[in-house]
């Protein structure tokens, strides 16, 4: 079994759908599933206030957002802590704890807790739990399925031992990255970030076990021939369309910069005289232009047809012969001249330039579909119960025991 780089292991799967459906992603086991930790519970659903200290890269948790949350939630227990041992789901009778879902966010949540109103903070934790729970359910299904394929305890012990060794290699990389010289120092720094080596090791092992099961079930070799590549190219040809576009140079003489239109005309006169006498357009632009790209010889990179507001410039860029300098355009705030350096006609990126990209896309799509098929099959045979099933709680009520829902302590 090959170890996966820890940078990948550290990603958090953000599930954008309810906890009763499979998340269709490239690889549903990329996100870690941390072990249990102590703390408090989440509150009922409602709307979740999001503080500006929360990581804005998490979908749905941008600074200042008011995040709507579905019904359901966790009870509040105590007035401190962030993560609890409360069961939020059961997969074939095995529990998933609130700590497994919330631990990756504990540092950010601790920053939010002191500023957000308590009720809103509890609702935020509830929203995160409901949003991310499905990814943890899928990983649990995969790990349980792998365990079921192993006939002897020794087989599982060997897998765990191998993964422990793989994680030890990652520890060395983390020590270098965090500029520490021992596991003790590393663990201390990780705990400052509200995590630990034990947490990361546990996450790594679960994730790799899920990957291994997917590899055996969804990793069939895919044979992709040239005909398949051509068929894909033809079916998605619009995606490879290239627009009419041009690279060009500009000399702009601003009225305001020179104290009015008449003084600016005197500068323009110098520009046109130099160009008539064979002066290089780029050199003249560097000396006289007030345009934003003057220091680059007035060069503008590829510009698509139809993207310019100035219709005179637009017509010149896509009508003038290459290398020809335009007439002087008199605008409300400046004089301008342009020169077309290069132009590409509308068309399609050639198939030969896209073969490798298309092959990779077909392989990725096939892996995704195969992965989803495996997970769908496991779900169809599994018993999965969550605290969000069957409207277990109402909007402002604490969780309570109902038919079909998890029993709460």
Question: 253 and 179 share a domain?
Answer: no
Last residue of a domain, one of 314, 345, 376: 345
| Beta bridge mates, 330 | 335
Q: 179 phi and psi, to 5 degrees?
A: 60, 50
Question: 215 and 306 share a domain?
Answer: no
What per-residue confidence (pLDDT) applies to 220? 65
Is 350 within the bounds of a domain? no
Inter-residue contact 148 to 89 (CB < 8 Å): no
Question: 216 and 255 share a domain?
Answer: no
Q: What CATH number has the domain bearing residue 331?
A: 3.10.50.40
Q: Residue 91, exposed/middle/buried by CB under 10 A (0-12, 13-18, 19+)?
A: buried
Average pLDDT taken over every residue of the chain? 76
Question: 301 and 368 share a domain?
Answer: no
Question: 74 and 215 share a domain?
Answer: yes
Question: 337 and 367 share a domain?
Answer: no
Question: 205 and 324 share a domain?
Answer: no
- Pull the structure tokens for residue 96: 């998933």
CA angle 134, 33, 214 (to 5 degrees): 75
Gap between the Cα atoms of 56 and 7, Å rounded: 19
Q: Residue 162's pLDDT band (boundaries 50, 70, 90)?
A: confident
What average pLDDT score do residues 330-336 get? 95
Is 228 within the bounds of a domain? no
Is 238 within the bounds of a domain? no
Question: What pairing do the DSSP bridges indicate for beta strands 299-304 and 94-97?
Answer: unpaired
Gap between the Cα atoms of 195 and 183, Å rounded: 14
Please tell me the least confidently modeled range out of 19-33, 185-199, 320-334: 19-33
Question: 17 and 105 share a domain?
Answer: yes
CA angle 4, 8, 12 (to 5 degrees): 130
Gap between the Cα atoms of 5 and 241, Å rounded: 36
* Cα separations in angstroms, 46 against 105, 242, 288: 20, 47, 61
Please tell me the least confidently modeled range out of 153-162, 359-368, 387-396: 387-396
Q: State pTM to two decimals.
A: 0.54
Inter-residue contact 370 to 77 (CB < 8 Å): no
What per-residue confidence (pLDDT) applies to 402? 37
Question: 192 and 311 share a domain?
Answer: no
Task: Report H helices in 63-117.
Answer: 98-102, 106-113
**Residues 6+ positions from 346 with CB-CB distance below 8 Å:** 241, 242, 243, 244, 305
What average pLDDT score do residues 222-240 get? 92
- Pull the structure tokens for residue 244: 């009419």
Is 284 within the bounds of a domain? yes
Sheet holding 329-330, edge to edge: 299-304, 245-254, 334-344, 329-330
Question: 298 and 374 share a domain?
Answer: no
- Tens digit of pLDDT for each residue in 109-151? 888 888 888 888 888 888 999 999 999 999 999 989 888 888 7
Q: Calculate the CA dihedral of residues 364, 369, 371, 376 and round it to 10 degrees.
A: 160
Question: 208 and 115 share a domain?
Answer: yes
Give me the number of domains the chain comprises.
2
Is 88 within the bounds of a domain? yes
What per-residue confidence (pLDDT) applies to 79? 33
Question: 378 and 324 share a domain?
Answer: no
Domain that holds residue 105: 6-220+359-391
């Amino acid at each position: 079994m090959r170890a996966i780089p820890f940078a990948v292991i550290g990603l958090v799967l953000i599930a954008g759908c309810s906890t009763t459906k499979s998340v269709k992603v490239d690889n549903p086991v990329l996100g870690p599933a941390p072990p249990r930790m102590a703390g408090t519970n989440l509150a009922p659903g409602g709307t979740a206030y999001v503080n500006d200290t929360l990581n804005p890269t998490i979908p749905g948790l941008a600074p200042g957002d008011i995040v709507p949350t579905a019904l359901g939630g966790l009870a509040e227990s105590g007035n401190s802590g962030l993560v609890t041992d409360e069961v939020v789901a059961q997969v074939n009778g095995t529990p998933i704890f609130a700590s497994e879902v919330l631990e990756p966010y504990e540092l950010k949540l601790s920053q939010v807790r002191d500023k957000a109103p308590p009720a809103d903070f509890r609702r935020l934790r509830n929203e995160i739990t409901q949003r991310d729970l499905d990814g943890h359910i899928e990983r649990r299904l995969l790990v349980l399925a792998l365990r079921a394929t192993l006939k002897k305890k020794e087989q599982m012990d060997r897998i765990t031992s191998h993964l422990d060794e793989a994680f030890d290699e990652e520890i060395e990389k983390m020590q270098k990255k965090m500029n520490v010289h021992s596991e003790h120092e590393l663990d201390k720094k990780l705990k400052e970030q509200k995590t630990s080596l034990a947490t990361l090791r546990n996450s790594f092992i679960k994730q790799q076990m899920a990957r291994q099961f997917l590899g055996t079930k969804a990793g069939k070799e895919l044979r992709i021939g040239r005909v398949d590549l051509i068929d894909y190219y033809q079916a998605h040809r619009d995606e490879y369309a290239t627009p009419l576009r041009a690279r060009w140079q500009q000399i702009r003489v601003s009225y305001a910069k020179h104290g009015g239109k008449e003084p600016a005309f005197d500068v323009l006169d110098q520009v046109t005289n130099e160009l008539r006498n064979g002066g290089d357009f780029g050199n003249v632009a560097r000396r006289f232009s007030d345009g934003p790209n003057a220091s680059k010889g007035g060069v503008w990179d590829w510009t698509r047809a139809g993207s310019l507001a100035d219709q005179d410039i637009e017509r010149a860029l896509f009508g003038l012969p290459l290398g020809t300098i335009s007439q002087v355009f008199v605008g409300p705030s400046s004089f301008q001249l342009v020169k077309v350096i290069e132009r590409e006609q509308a068309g399609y990126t050639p198939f030969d330039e896209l073969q490798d990209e298309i092959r990779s896309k077909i392989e990725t799509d096939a892996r995704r579909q195969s992965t989803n098929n495996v997970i769908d099959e496991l779900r169809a045979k599994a018993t999965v119960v969550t605290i969000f099933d069957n409207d277990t709680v109402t909007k402002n009520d604490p969780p309570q025991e109902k038919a079909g829902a998890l029993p709460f302590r």
